[in-house]
Amino acid sequence: MRAPEDLSPRDAVDRYLDRRSTELAESSIRSYRYRLKLWVEWCEDENIESLEELSGWTFERFEAFRSGQGIASPTLHGEMETLKGHIEYLERIEAVEDGLAEKVHVPDVPDSEMSRDTMLRPEDAEELIRYYRTHDHVYGTRFHVALELAFHTGARLGALRGLDRRDYHSDEQFVEFVHRPETNTPLKNQRSGERSVSLLSEVCDAVDAYIARHRPSGHDEFGRSPLFVTFHENRVSENAFRAWMYRATQPCVAGACPHQYDPKDCDFRRHSTASQCPSSRAPHHVRTGSITWHRDRGFPAEVTSERVNASQDVIEKHYDKASQRERMELRRRPHLEKLTID
């Protein structure tokens, strides 16, 4: 058997991903695999054949190479951060010398660049949801309920598509998010992502209407009964759910097109091209808008954190898009009377 330091960069990455696969969601593993694939390919182009050849100079050259390709600062940050974690693993198994990971430079990125500004604005979400709730031809459809649940719970795409019919409790008005990796519906944060989220009665009314009138009967390949079912009677895929959300958030659903297209013959109204609509939003953008909406409505940070399964620091840095003026008016001003001196 080869000594660990004789492993090639490719073999080392394969071993690392295999070990991490037991503790990370598949979506995270895919992200790690893509980032480290770039590292492996660069090493092979540079004729680096074993781990014992790695040094601080190696990492410096790789960072300069990726930076020279014109990638965004957050992308470079993520790639180097992932590489550093990989080298830390190699230190632990004594495949490289102690302290080598400290020589991987992870560039700082301003908070303004790290955050994602695109979101479904709360006022736009409210307008869409009001329309869905008050118009019979769209009430309780898959588009309505996908948006209703996503915006009301702030849940991630994977958590929403992983819902079973049994996870929705109409009488008690809540929904459960459960980690089920063995049947292909893991949660991003695994067991720590499991939670019960309460629902308003009007949200339950919409879900009940979907189940009674629009939801096809069907089971997935594991015999489970999904909440979100396609017309082919299968559990909706991530790509299909993403397309549903693009359709659900197009502004022409509830009003005039802000881009002067005619909805009757607009190419963006098709399932395959909905993502190209300038105003449609992906599930992640709906989640971002939902978290901002929760905070604007006065939900305490710790309650929002538990509801959407994200730390308060992550919410503050990546999801909460309220401006400083909005934070003052909507969150702090209502408490001003507490400072009155009698």
pLDDT of amino acid 78:
85
pLDDT tens for residues 194-237?
A: 999 999 999 999 999 999 999 999 899 999 999 999 988 899 99
List the chain domain ranges. 4-114, 122-296
CA pair distance 120, 63, nearest whole angstrom: 34
70 CB-near residues (< 8 Å, 6+ apart): none
User: Which residue's entry shows tokens 């929403």?
Assistant: 160
**Residue 337 scores a pLDDT above 70:** no
pLDDT tens for residues 307-325?
A: 999 988 888 776 665 556 6
Question: Residue 159: pLDDT band by 50, 70, 90 thresholds?
Answer: very high
pLDDT of amino acid 162:
97
Q: Which of 188, 190, 160 has the alpha carbon at shortest distance from 176?
A: 160
| pTM of structure | 0.66
The CATH code that applies to domain 4-114 is 1.10.150.130
**Residue 275 scores a pLDDT above 90:** no
What is the pLDDT averaged over residues 124-139?
A: 96
Q: How far is CA 57 from the centre of its chain?
A: 35
Pairing of strands 168-169, 195-198: unpaired
Is domain 122-296 given the CATH code 3.30.70 in the classification? Answer: no
pLDDT of amino acid 225:
96
- What are the strands of the beta sheet with 195-198, ordered from one edge? 168-169, 174-177, 195-198
**pLDDT-above-90 percentage for the chain:** 63
With 0-12 / 13-18 / 19 or more C-beta atoms within 10 angstroms meaning exposed / middle / buried, residue 324 is: exposed
User: Which residue's entry shows tokens 């607009």?
Assistant: 266
pLDDT of amino acid 116:
45
**Residue 101 scores a pLDDT above 50:** yes
138 CB-near residues (< 8 Å, 6+ apart): 131, 132, 144, 253
83 CB-near residues (< 8 Å, 6+ apart): 35, 36, 39, 59, 62, 104
Q: Which of 37, 121, 52 has the alpha carbon at shortest distance from 82?
A: 37
| φ and ψ at residue 200, rounded to 5 degrees | -75, 155
**pLDDT-above-70 percentage for the chain:** 88
CA pair distance 211, 141, nearest whole angstrom: 9
**Residue 338 scores a pLDDT above 60:** no
